[in-house]
Amino acid sequence: MRVKGGNKTARRKKILKFTSGFFGSKHRLYRTGNEAMIKAMAFSYRGRKERKRDFRKLWITRINAACRLNDISYSKFINGLKKANIDLNRKMLSEIAIADPKAFSKIVDTAKKALAK
């Protein structure tokens, strides 16, 4: 009676397809490829979480730079927005600061007025 390949062949093909493009034996051999795949999946999971942090950092840096041009610090600006009940997220504030500096200046003025009260 012959042995059928079955599930093991499919699993091997799936892993080697995933690791195609990897360096060295990682794309040729099943065991090293499997180890590389497990690490790659772990790194990609972690990377999806890090991307959110990185973008938030970038937006805050951009907002801070735009705030400094309008003679206010980032923390005072955010505090002023909260007191003025302006609900704009950091991504949108960053986009406004880049695309339309005049509109951003108006938002900063509103935040400054809210802080003065």
Domain ranges, ordered by start, for the chain: 6-116
This prediction's pTM: 0.81
For 25-45, the pLDDT digits (tens) are 999 999 999 999 999 999 999
pLDDT category, 15, cuts 50, 70, 90?
Answer: very high
**Tokens 């090293």 — which residue?**
32
d(CA 70, CA 94): 14
pLDDT at 23 over 80: yes
pLDDT at 1 over 80: no
**Helix boundaries (H) for the chain:** 6-18, 30-69, 74-83, 90-99, 101-116
What is the model's pLDDT at position 30? Answer: 96
The total of other beta-carbon atoms located within 10 Å of residue 101's CB is: 14
> What's the Cα-to-Cα distance from 63 to each of 5, 72, 81, 90, rounded to whole Å?
59, 11, 13, 8
What is the model's pLDDT at position 22? Answer: 97
CATH architecture of 6-116: Orthogonal Bundle (1.10)
Higher pLDDT, 7 or 83: 83
d(CA 22, CA 11): 18
d(CA 41, CA 52): 18
What is the model's pLDDT at position 8? Answer: 86
pLDDT at 3 over 90: no
For 64-115, the pLDDT digits (tens) are 999 999 999 999 999 999 999 999 999 999 999 999 999 999 999 999 999 9
